Chains A and B, each alone.
Chain A
Amino acid sequence: MHLTGTFNVVDNVQFWMSTDFSPATGLTVKWKGNNAGSYQTPTASTSSVATSSIPTSDPGTANVSIGGSLSGQLVAAGYTDYIVLQLQTTTSAPAGDTSLAVFTAQYDES
């Protein structure tokens, strides 16, 4: 996530999926936000990085790292660590139609 503009400190970065898919049948999102390493090329295979279920509500504490740490801070415009997401489907996912979901990010800025 790219943070721009003027600030003293940005920290406590959180990420979640606010809504489930609509329709949601056969669809799940796996993710990794803490120390996810380098950029991951999209793949049709099961990711070895995005392996956890994504939170579906405000996690309450930081879950996206900065500089490899959940307590990391940005003191000037810059990037958090990568957020890696993978949409996984089963055969029960309906063909054709697309689904909608809302992804949310939150951080503290002083």
Chain B
Amino acid sequence: MSISARELDDFRAEAGAWFTANKPADPGFLLPQSFMEVGTDRQFEFLRAWQRKVYEAGYLGMAWPAEYGGGGRDQAFQDIATAEMARQKVPFMTNTIGLSWAGPLILNMGTEVQKQDYIKRILSAEDIWCQGFSEPDNGSDLGNAQLRAVRDGDEFVLNGSKIWTSLGSYADYMILLARSNTEANTKYEGLSYFLSPMKTPGIEAVPIRKLTGEYGFTQTFFDNARIPDTCLIGEEGKGWQVAMKTLTFERAVSGGQAGGVHSMPVFAGEVVELARHALRDGRSAIEDPLVRDQLVAFLIEERGLELNNQRAEIPGLNTEWPGSIAMARKLTHSEWRRRLNQFAVTLQGANASRYVDDPSVLDGGRWQRGYFNAFSSTIGGGTSEIQKNIVGERVLGLPKSD
């Protein structure tokens, strides 16, 4: 499909104007920076309404098939709309697991009924989705999931618990990896994958308090919860393959996500501004040579990551380790974000000791809270250490670690 540059430019102008006109006003309370940080009902309801508005205006799921509620247009349009959202720093789309992981997964390997039932409601945020991968005893070792799913006629009976369930208190559905066969040849072959309803007797989501002091996710308990076997996605016993496919969406190695921004971006330039206003020995911190050196190092790294994204699209410049940039993206971006927030905290001088809710804290405590929350990305979805194993083994071809 070829689209003229003119058509895309016109669309950019149209989408840009819509976001300018419809960008929500400051709600008067601190908004979270990603779906992993949604901690209060008012934050959730605000973000859910915003996603619905964006979808109804036609700027979300633009490349998803029209018969399921998508826009049926070329991906180029969604990319432009997403870029406009980022540029105008509008609030993020809160149904991230539905939009970016579960949705593409269902479109990729779900049944016709599943597509009809779920896709449109993911886009409109009528159904909120969460993910049930990690367990209290099995975090990074996903293949060792122990939550039991025992077949009983045309139902499965679920027992066990999942943990670190972002949006767990609000979710209608969970993508759930469970052990349906304890006698399989390998731990991987005993797994099945479900699109499990959350509003089910026997399923209870208990909020967990985070290191920030806020509530952002739950431990989800399953006590003889019964779900129909039509909730299976992929074959019974093939859950590992479905989970691996999910991770390619989660890590953006595969395309097909609904689009939209999913976290509030942080820019090194914002920390430069912070340094301008912070004081060192009676002068602006930005005059301090050591501060300058660190700021420039962050700017170089930010630019490098941005240029990486552009280069990744040019096959001739990725011949040596194809896929390396995409495979390392979560690692590089999450670590950069953590370090940048940490540096921003230290720039505040003695005031770095203040925290969220203190009336004098800088920027509402954004940097302090941002630093702590940044660990959600360096730990969640496979820790940075696990990411390094993956890149080391799959990109560099190093032998597996025992």
Decide if A and B are genuine partners: no
What is the interface of chain B, defined by CB distance below 8 A to chain A? none
